[in-house]
Structure 1
Amino acid sequence: MLTLPAGTMCALVGPPGCGKSTFSARYPASWRICLDAFRLAATDSEADQTATPVAAEIQNLLLDARLARNLRTIVDSTNVMPHVRAGLLARARYWQRPTAAILFDVPLATVEIQNGSRDRMVPLHVVRELHGLMPTREQLLAEGFGTVYSASELVSAETV
């Protein structure tokens, strides 16, 4: 587990099936904000993408509530699109909170295998498209994330 300073907004960045939710499950449930959970609450299906706008509104409301209280928050969604990350960073800046990102730099072949073993598989073309949108560490830093970790480095550090 990473030690995140109080009030940190930590965005997980990676395609479906890369291990974001497994990673976030290591942290207290109250820290985690997950779009899948909000889609499930709205439609009885985590996979119902028509609920994403509502899920994003709930995410933003909870993110603001937690940041206003200086609470650590892990944003568990793909966050591969620049405009989505920009919105998260804007909220953290508004509340003057530290930011971090964890880049799930998992090879596409591994992501495809992991996605295939999930109860809720995401269509392969979507996984490939989102994997292709992955930013680099340098991009995330340039966007304004204060700290960027790569999942591969975190995993290798755990096995030492």
Structure 2
Amino acid sequence: MSPLDLPAGALCALIGPPGCGKTTFAAQWPDSWRISLDAYRKAASDTEKDLTATTVAVQVQGLFLEARMARGRTTIADSTNVALPDRAGLLARARYWQRPAVAVLFDVPLATVEAQNAARDRVVPVHVVRDFHRQMPTVDQLHTEGWTTVHLASALTTSSTR
């Protein structure tokens, strides 16, 4: 996959279950652009696996998101972002700072996600992966929420914008 041509200062939310390829996709941009709950869990506890560090990781992610949006810096939100409240929080920050809001929806088949997850260093339990996959929004839902541009990771073609 080649990087998207993101508008300057955009917030780009990667949306998909664990193991779908979000972090690999995000690695195409400079490290400074990426905010990641996994990275902040690891910074707080020495391992991405320590879910008890998630509360702190969310706080750190919020601080970095705010700092980057305030400065007009392009930001990649590399977390699952499948839950509506998570996306709503990201979208609210982009709107507050009047930044473009771009979503990349990882429309990866469940069987592929499960296989990729099983091959990772940090394997997420299958029932969790399946639950996240079930929560995936549609392109229409993302547009209704207010994301101005939605890309499908499978095709990297921009869907119609409203």
Pairing 1:4-153 to 2, within 5 Å after superposition: 4-153=6-155
RMSD over equivalenced CA pairs, Å = 0.9
Which AA in structure 2 matches 1:72?
A: T
Structure 1 stretches of 5 or more lacking a match? Answer: 156-160
CA distance in 2 between partners of 1:30 and 1:132 (Å): 31
| Runs of 4+ residues over 3 Å off in structure 1 | none
Seq. identity, %: 65
CA distance in 2 between partners of 1:24 and 1:65 (Å): 19
How far is the alpha carbon of 1:64 from its aligned partner?
Answer: 0.6
Please give the TM-score of this superposition, normalised by the length of structure 1: 0.95
- Paired residue secondary structure (1:153): coil
Structure 2 stretches of 5 or more lacking a match? Answer: 158-162
Which AA in structure 2 matches 1:56?
A: V
How far is the alpha carbon of 1:42 from its aligned partner?
Answer: 0.6
- Paired residue secondary structure (2:28): coil
Which AA in structure 1 matches 2:139?
A: R
Which whole-Å deviations, capped at 9, do the CAs of 1:82-124 have from their partners, x for residues lacking one?
0010000111111111100000000000000000000110001
How far is the alpha carbon of 1:47 from its aligned partner?
Answer: 1.4
CA distance in 1 between partners of 2:98 and 2:59 (Å): 21
Which AA in structure 2 matches 1:11?
A: A
